[in-house]
Amino acid sequence: MKKTVKDYIRTIVDFPHEGILFRDVTTLFADPRGFRMCVDQLLAPYAGLRIDKVAGLEARGFILGGAVAHQLSTGFVPIRKKGKLPGRTIAQDYQLEYGEAVMEVHDDAMKPGEKVLLVDDLLATGGTAAAGISLIERLGAEVVGCAFVVDLPDLGGRKKLEGMGMEVHALCAFEGL
C-alpha cells in the first residue's frame, strides 16, 4: 500500500499539555520520500501560477517554505516571532490559545503587487496565519494561497482564513485538538 503524507506524521499524546494530541511533522521531514512527497504536494496547486515569493511562518514553515520556494524558483520570506529579525520590521499582534503574541516581517521583504504563497506545517485556530496574511497585505503584496501540511478542522482555522477570502490547501486533516 502506498504511503500518504499523513502516514509519516506521528502523534504525541499530552504534549505540550495534558489532553493535547500533538501532530509531529519532524518524522515526515526526516524521511526523504515523505519530505519530497510533502513538498511536491504543497506546491502542486500553485504550479504554473505567478508566485513571486513564498512566505514561511516560524518555525517549521521555514523548512517547508524554503523547499517550496526552491522548487518554484522564487524568493523566500521568513515571518518571525517578535525580536528575531535584524532589520526594520512591521509587526502584527495575534491571539494564541492562552494569550497573545506578535509576528514580524522585514519592511522591505515584499513589494506592492507581488504574489505570495503562505506556507506552514499546521493550521489550528488560524491566528498565526491570519497575522502573516495581514503583514503580507500591509506591504502591498497579494496572498495567492495558504498551504499547510496538517489541518485541525475542529479548531476552526480553515474557516477563519476562508472567511478572510483566502484559498486554503492542506495535505491532510486530523480530528480533535
What is the rounded distance in angstroms from the CA atom of residue 113 to the CA atom of residue 141? 5
Span 42-51, pLDDT tens digits? 999 999 999 9
Output b/e per residue, 39-78; b: 16+ Cβ within 10 A: bebbbeebeeeebbbbbbbbebbbbbbbbbbeebebebbb
What is the rounded distance in angstroms from the CA atom of residue 110 to the CA atom of residue 118? 13
> pTM of this prediction?
0.96
What one-character DSSP code corresponds to residue 118?
E
Span 98-136, pLDDT tens digits? 789 999 999 999 999 999 999 999 999 999 999 999 999
pLDDT tier, 177 (very low <50, low <70, confident <90, very high otherwise) = low
Catalytic positions are 60, 97
* Amino acid at position 146, single letter: C
Closest residue by Cα to residue 155 from 129, 119, 136, 116: 129
pLDDT tier, 75 (very low <50, low <70, confident <90, very high otherwise) = very high
Span 1-15, pLDDT tens digits? 899 999 999 999 999
- Cell 521568513 locates to 78
Complete domains list, the chain, with CATH: 50-173 (3.40.50.2020)
pLDDT at 99: 81
What is the rounded distance in angstroms from the CA atom of residue 53 to the CA atom of residue 148? 16
Closest residue by Cα to residue 147 from 165, 164, 171: 171
H helix runs in 73-115, sequence order: none
What one-character DSSP code corresponds to residue 133?
H
